[in-house]
Structure 1
Amino acid sequence: MNGAAKGAIIGGVFLAMVGGAGYGMYSLVGDTGGGKDDTADGKSATASRGEGPVTEKEAVEAAKGFLTAWAAGDDRTAADWTNNASEAQSAVADFKAKAYVSKAVITPGTPTGTTVPFKVAAEVTYEGTTKPLAYESRLTVVRGLSTGKALVDWQASVIHPDLKRGERLRAGTPASPPVKLVDRNDQELTPEKYPSLRPVLAQLREVYGSKAGGKAGAEVWIEPAAATATTQDGSATQDGATTQDGATAQDGGRRTLLTLVAGEPSTLKTYLDAKVQAAAEQAVARFPESSVVAVKPSNGHILAIANNRKDGYNAAMTGTRAPGSTMKIVTAAMLLDRGKVAADKPAPCDKTVSWGGRSFHNLENFQLPAGTNFSTSFARSCNTAFIKQIKEVDEDAALSKEATEVFGIGLDWKTGIKSFDGKVPVTTGAESAAEYIGQGQITMNPLNIASITATARSGRFHQPLLVSPELDGRPTATAARTMKSSVRGQLVSMMRLTATSGTGAEAMASVGGDKGAKTGSAEVDGAGSPDSWFTGFSDDVAAAAMVEGGGHGSDAAGPIVAAVLSP
């Protein structure tokens, strides 16, 4: 074979030929590794035992053994070359049986240490239709802890680079017809042009595809993991992205990889705005691990949803992070509502304040002169000015009530796709003080903070909506109380001051119109840098952004919001 090895699968029969310095083979599908350290029976074909780091020679041997068995359709042997035999065996078998791969050639590349890249040139055949499916992937070889053998570290991405833990590669006729997504002005929104909308489109297709008409064709798709990251009541891990066992959260239904037979798509109109969405996509592209949402204060319509995250998680809609000082919008509203403060009345801003046995301080321990009013303390984001008011309120549930009854936080928002709708638990002591400044047990995402800003701007909670409730007759959440006009007037004026001469002034300098803002940074245990939060409004658009580990609010999240408010 002139020193080049070649492998193929033809007509469902696996043929593998190995020789010289190379080899060709087949590919499979399944979950990522992490289940067990070695193979199911402690045997890994002819893998050699060793000690210490895996050598490149061992890596090539293990990769060759795995890929050769895969090419031959020998799922048992292929699995034994991995450190998670049960998942790998299922994956190898499924690639042919459930992804309908009728032919595949795998060409390995040049190893880099213990990592071996390879190219897959496959054909998928379903009900008489054959289409090519080509991609690149890689595998890494590790040493089995109990056997000492060099084994492929099983990851779902070995089968296809887009697969995450728990996901499966499938082909056939999907249950939901394809959907053409359009914005409020009937402009088409494609995931190719607006990548952040890929999980949104998947969920909308799953929920509304059969309701909106259309006809299903045939596809190759990624089936989402059965496990989810959140419970039915919306509780989750700190970032909502992983479950306790480490499974990746998926934000929607299946993701199409290849269309075999085109279906007849239905058209689904959303409240998104293509111009604002484009600005949001460009804005988050500047900052890793960032998310942003924009809504209309007058009606709650969602104008844009964008994320730039390695894990593909829709943190903009379903994240659960402490929002930092952006929460002071709600705290200020509660204090104004109860007559404990007034925008033009003094609100002491000392360096530190103690409550519940814990000391709280301002950024870099700054303080403001005696007699400084509450509006200035808000605009400068003075923590102590807020916490000093706790003894005046004298009700543990005050903040939680304001958040729910006026701002709609924690109600069952039915936006049209999955969303986490915020959580402000009732706490006491130091935890209560922490919540006044957006720390402690409070959990939010950019959708929640954008909605809070929209409510402050309009004086009335409008449940955020991505698509019309008339599509499926779903109910929408209604807040128990409308914000008092006097509270709204003072709150908006303080946000305007923040945007023009406070902590948000630099970020909002380029934003026109009637504008307001609030900055925030949230400390996260074990993180080297706080999460950056920023929210603002300009006329009838409100937006909020969060950048994990982004620093102060104006450092990263601020420029994102400013870009969205000035598309």
Structure 2
Amino acid sequence: MPESEHATASRERPRFLRPAVAAAVAIVCAVTAGSAYATQWGPFAPEIPEVDPAAVAQARAFLADWAGGRMESAGARTTSPDEAQNVLRNFTTGLDISRPKLAAAAASAATGGAVTVPFTAKMPVTDLGTWSYDSEIPVRRQEDGSWKIDWSLPLVHPKLSSTDKFRLTREDTGAPQVTDRTGAPMPPETSPSLKPVIDQLGTTAGAGPRGSIERVDRTTGEVTATEARFGTKTGASADRSVQTTLDPAWQVAADRALAAEADGKDAALVALRIDNGEIVAVANSPASGFNRALSGTYAPGSTWKIVTTGALLLKNAVAPGDIVDCPKYLTVGKEFHNVETSEFPGASFRKNFTESCNTGFISLRNKIGDSELGKVAKNYFGVGQEWHTGIPSFDGSVPVPGDQTEKAASMIGQGKVLGNPLTMASIAATAASGTFHQPTITDGAKDTTKTTALPRAVVTQLRSLMRATVTDGTARGLAGLPGDIGAKTGTAEVSESAPNNGWVVATRGNVAIAVVVEGGVTGGASAVPVARHLLEAVPQDPS
């Protein structure tokens, strides 16, 4: 029989199985099918290829280069270096995107040797928000054994193509209408220094910037889809007014006080109610700058001695009449000195407070624990907790000192201790009343702070010390004004080459104020005149 015929006969011969064999085969098939249903493929599963760490490393390095703006390096990791570099460089052109954040997810491998690395892109769009989307990076092994990104436009964004690109559209919503505590409008021209505040109020109230990322046809410019929207919906809040706690008389007086007395220097002022923390005035100079009154970060200098004194009095570590020597210099890792190297031998603690003696306060550093000053600031004065003022604010910081030199500096409001006029006005208010009230500039702000009231004896002593600073100390520039005014000045070092910042905090009736004048040299010479101008202009407390 020819070979071909033998082969055909051999294939055709076993058409039927014996009954026993057929039954056995049926059972095996049934068991196998059941196993496949329960475990996908059970013991017969195809081998899942392992992910080569080198492929994942290449994808992650590509994302790092892209996020870091190293487009040439990122392109070199792809199969089309020049095109990749060009696309990555131009992708965000006109989209006002700052440095993106690109996070890789778990990689997977497929048959054929390819590796896929998914990633999430977060693209910050200036003044609007973040454009987020997901994509994935295909990585393939090359003939030389290396791994390269298999370049294509959808890698950058799934909808990016040779026909479609992206465009940013902004909508001008205008500034919101800001009203005072009574609901009456506060025109920007009457209080120019409110501009930084108004800008923040608009964003917080939803009347801020709006815009969208649109997908457009590269040839016609026609919008084919909207990929992301930012801000409120069209017409939702564009004309919305924002009611504040501001008092018009105090606000106008604050503007004029800075204009008249700050000598053209950068400066800021906050005035707030002692009984509830409501902000009645915020002023910034220059008006075109940022909101340094609420968001600035400054060393508060000797105004911080209110908190330091509170910590000492809480422990009965010192009494106002105790002798605390005030030498010209004191060395704690470095040399500390008093303003104009003044000295008061044999001075009382009261004298140290009213004349703002740095060396005397530093000499008491061992009376309190290393972390105690920060705890008192947080637990009694609310400093360092998260405040919800109605607009973004910096709410103070008192880190645990790293060594005795830092601890010495923190005793006098230097080193790593930071605050601003909002922080310090609140501290003055707490010292005057004994109870911290979260500062607010809009109604309905939530309050998540938790504080303890100062003992009445401590409050009495703090008020007495602040009053003596006006009658007999460094804030005597406020003497003679009506009302039982208490105050504390501060002179904060900035650097060896820059002039000191001048500070003052003051309380009168139901109002606490704080003023900082950058480069003001001393608080008494620069900040006190601003405070006096304000208090002279508004003799009455806000209703």
Out of 342, 359, 362, the residue aligned to residue 366 of structure 1 is 342
- What amino acid is aligned across from residue 511 of structure 2 in structure 1? V
Out of 379, 383, 398, the residue aligned to residue 424 of structure 1 is 398
Taking a change above 3 Å as real, the CA distance of residues 179 and 309 of structure 1, as seen in their structure-2 partners, is closer
> What is the CA RMSD across the aligned residues, in angstroms?
3.0
Aligned position for 1:326: 303
Aligned position for 1:464: 439
User: Any residues of structure 2 matched to 1:155-194 within 5 Å, and which?
Assistant: 172=171, 174=173, 179-194=176-191
Taking a change above 3 Å as real, the CA distance of residues 501 and 222 of structure 1, as seen in their structure-2 partners, is farther
Contiguous gaps of at least 5 residues in structure 1: 1-34, 36-85, 95-168, 211-215, 224-252, 255-260
2:321–2:348 CA contact under 8 A, matched in 1: yes
Q: Could you report, residue by residue, the CA deviation over 1:485-511 in whole angstroms, capped at 9, with x for unpaired residues?
A: 1111001100000011100002x1353
Q: Secondary structure at the match of 2:459?
A: helix
Measure the CA separation in 1 of the matches of 2:390 and 2:474: 35
Taking a change above 3 Å as real, the CA distance of residues 479 and 500 of structure 1, as seen in their structure-2 partners, is farther
Taking a change above 3 Å as real, the CA distance of residues 346 and 479 of structure 1, as seen in their structure-2 partners, is farther
Shift of 1:264: 7.3
Taking a change above 3 Å as real, the CA distance of residues 383 and 529 of structure 1, as seen in their structure-2 partners, is same
Measure the CA separation in 1 of the matches of 2:241 and 2:321: 52
Aligned position for 2:474: 503
2:171–2:210 CA contact under 8 A, matched in 1: no
User: Any residues of structure 2 matched to 1:222-233 within 5 Å, and which?
Assistant: none
Aligned position for 1:399: 373
Shift of 1:565: 2.7
Q: Could you report, residue by residue, the CA deviation over 1:413-469 in whole angstroms, capped at 9, with x for unpaired residues?
A: 000000000001110310110010011011111000000001001111001011112
User: Any residues of structure 2 matched to 1:284-299 within 5 Å, and which?
Assistant: 284-286=258-260, 287=262, 288-299=265-276
Q: Secondary structure at the match of 1:192?
A: helix
Measure the CA separation in 1 of the matches of 2:331 and 2:172: 62
2:386–2:449 CA contact under 8 A, matched in 1: no
How many corresponding residue pairs?
356
1:461–1:479 CA contact under 8 A, matched in 2: no
Q: Does 1:475 align with 2:446?
A: yes
2:381–2:451 CA contact under 8 A, matched in 1: no
Out of 477, 481, 500, the residue aligned to residue 530 of structure 1 is 500
Taking a change above 3 Å as real, the CA distance of residues 180 and 335 of structure 1, as seen in their structure-2 partners, is same
Aligned position for 2:524: 554
Q: Does 1:377 align with 2:333?
A: no
Q: Secondary structure at the match of 2:523?
A: coil
Taking a change above 3 Å as real, the CA distance of residues 222 and 350 of structure 1, as seen in their structure-2 partners, is farther
Aligned position for 1:440: 415
Taking a change above 3 Å as real, the CA distance of residues 190 and 362 of structure 1, as seen in their structure-2 partners, is same
Shift of 1:377: 1.2
1:351–1:366 CA contact under 8 A, matched in 2: yes
Q: Secondary structure at the match of 2:531?
A: helix
Taking a change above 3 Å as real, the CA distance of residues 314 and 527 of structure 1, as seen in their structure-2 partners, is farther
Aligned position for 1:489: 460
Larger radius of gyration: 2
Aligned position for 1:342: 319
Taking a change above 3 Å as real, the CA distance of residues 511 and 444 of structure 1, as seen in their structure-2 partners, is same
Contiguous gaps of at least 5 residues in structure 2: 1-68, 70-88, 97-167, 212-229, 539-543
User: Any residues of structure 2 matched to 1:260-339 within 5 Å, and which?
Assistant: 265-286=239-260, 287=262, 288-309=265-286, 312-339=289-316
Measure the CA separation in 2 of the matches of 1:277 and 1:510: 23
Structure 1 segments of 4 or more deviating over 4 A? 261-264
Q: Could you report, residue by residue, the CA deviation over 1:227-250 in whole angstroms, capped at 9, with x for unpaired residues?
A: xxxxxxxxxxxxxxxxxxxxxxxx
1:541–1:565 CA contact under 8 A, matched in 2: no
Q: Could you report, residue by residue, the CA deviation over 1:90-135 in whole angstroms, capped at 9, with x for unpaired residues?
A: 67x99xxxxxxxxxxxxxxxxxxxxxxxxxxxxxxxxxxxxxxxxx
2:520–2:527 CA contact under 8 A, matched in 1: yes
- What amino acid is aligned across from residue 495 of structure 2 in structure 1? D
Taking a change above 3 Å as real, the CA distance of residues 522 and 185 of structure 1, as seen in their structure-2 partners, is same
> Structure 1 residues 534-543 or 305-314, which shifts more?
305-314
Aligned position for 1:390: 365
- What amino acid is aligned across from residue 339 of structure 1 in structure 2? N
Shift of 1:526: 4.6
Measure the CA separation in 1 of the matches of 2:431 and 2:321: 18
User: Any residues of structure 2 matched to 1:42-61 within 5 Å, and which?
Assistant: none
Taking a change above 3 Å as real, the CA distance of residues 445 and 512 of structure 1, as seen in their structure-2 partners, is same
Shift of 1:178: 6.1
Q: Could you report, residue by residue, the CA deviation over 1:284-328 in whole angstroms, capped at 9, with x for unpaired residues?
A: 123220100001111101011110137611100000111110100
2:266–2:517 CA contact under 8 A, matched in 1: yes
Q: Does 1:204 align with 2:201?
A: yes
